[in-house]
Amino acid sequence: IISLLDLAAKIKKKEIFFDYPEKALGLIFDKSSTRTRVSFQVAMNNLKGSTIDINPDKTQIGRGEPIKDTARVLSVYCDLIAIRTFNHTDLEEYAKWSTKPVINALTDLEHPCQALADFLTIKEEFNDFKNVVLAFIGDGNNVANSLLLCGALLGVEVRIACPKGYEPDKLLLKKARSICTNENLLKITNDPSEAASGSNVLYTDVWSSMGEENKKEEKDKAFKGFTIDRNLVSQANDDAIILHCLPAYRDKEITDEMIQSKKSRIFQQAENRLHSQQALLSCLLS
Ligand code: CP
Ligand code: NVA
């Protein structure tokens, strides 16, 4: 991850260039996307390769062709596949049958490409991860899960504050704790103030993720008090920055004031999706 982040920083500063002509990245997206889809397309374009939209509604995937058949066929045409889907096990099934690398472009369980851009943004701010305390306030969802895993690999203190019943996946937390040299670095609490106090990265994501549209009302009630607002930010360190993977629901998980504030690095974070994924593609194609 450190190597990828260093490479991404060099790509961003235009200190290093890679060309992968004739290489193709297939994009299978079962859910909507702006940042992930477009940043992968532009990154591949910058590498002089191409992307192919393999939209499930326009291909035999939508008709239910088994993943094991699709994956084997696409492995012949494409050099890489990026997949955004619901069940994490479907992604694993693709990876099992594909002979080419499969990139997780978000599942219900994880969003690792987002975490790469997040830690690049954090590194740009603090130079290293030594004294970083990341407080994620919100749902123990895919984004929180990937922050835990990536934080564990990098030795960063990650605190997740979520309402009771919305904690991160237990198995994933166990895995993150087994990776971490000091398992006390990963903390789960139901108190946003406890997480925010003494932190220098405040991070949030939507309360209801894609596929949870029918849970909106129930979750809006459960997450009352978990908004990143002026009051919560004042409890963090003076040097604290604010992150959000976007898209955001203003005045639910975060106020418009905090998105626009001087502490916000949210649009730098979105930009970093491009550089970190270009680094990832370069590594996988080399
Ligand atoms: N953050 C993120 O993955 O955004 P998109 O859903 O727009 O890709
Ligand atoms: N947790 C959100 C992230 C969107 C980028 C979702 O899965 O919808």
DSSP 151-169: HHHHT-EEEEE--TT-PPP
Q: Is 114 noted as a catalytic residue in this protein?
A: yes
pLDDT at 183 over 80: no
What is the best residue among 41, 108, 246, 269 to mutate for testing ligand 1's pocket, by most ligand atoms within 8 Å of CB? Answer: 246
Question: 102 near 284, Cβ under 8 Å?
Answer: no
Which atom of ligand 2 lies nearest, measured to the CA of 143?
A: 1
Ligand 2 centroid, distance to 244 Cα (angstroms): 11
Range 207-218 average pLDDT: 97
DSSP 264: B
pLDDT at 181 over 90: no
User: Coil, strand, or helix at residue 239?
Assistant: coil
Distance from CA of residue 109 to its chain's centroid?
11
Question: 132 near 200, Cβ under 8 Å?
Answer: yes
Beta bridge partners of 26: 52, 81
CA atoms 107, 84, 111, 160: torsion sign: negative
117-130 per-position pLDDT tens digit: 999 999 999 999 99
Q: Report which of 100, 43, 47, 46 is spatially closest to residue 77, judged by C-alpha positions.
A: 100
pLDDT at 184: 87
Question: 236 near 175, Cβ under 8 Å?
Answer: no
DSSP 10: H
Order of strands across the sheet that contains 50-53? 50-53, 24-29, 80-84, 102-104
Catalytic pick from 30, 78, 79, 84? 84
Q: Is 285 in the pocket of ligand 2 (CB under 6 A)?
A: no
Catalytic pick from 78, 79, 108, 114? 114
58-97 per-position pLDDT tens digit: 899 999 999 999 999 999 999 999 999 999 999 999 999 9
Q: Is 115 in the pocket of ligand 2 (CB under 6 A)?
A: no
User: Coil, strand, or helix at residue 3?
Assistant: helix
Catalytic pick from 273, 275, 277, 278? 273
Range 210-218 average pLDDT: 97
**Tokens (6 digits) for 190:** 């139901």
23-43 per-position pLDDT tens digit: 999 999 999 999 999 999 999
Helix, strand, coil percentages, rounded to 5, for the chain = 45, 15, 40
Q: Is 245 noted as a catalytic residue in this protein?
A: yes
How far apart are the C-alpha atoms of 116 and 157, rounded to whole Å? 16
- For atom 1 of ligand 1, the residue with the nearest CA is 245
191-208 per-position pLDDT tens digit: 999 999 999 999 999 999
Indicate the average pLDDT of the chain.
97
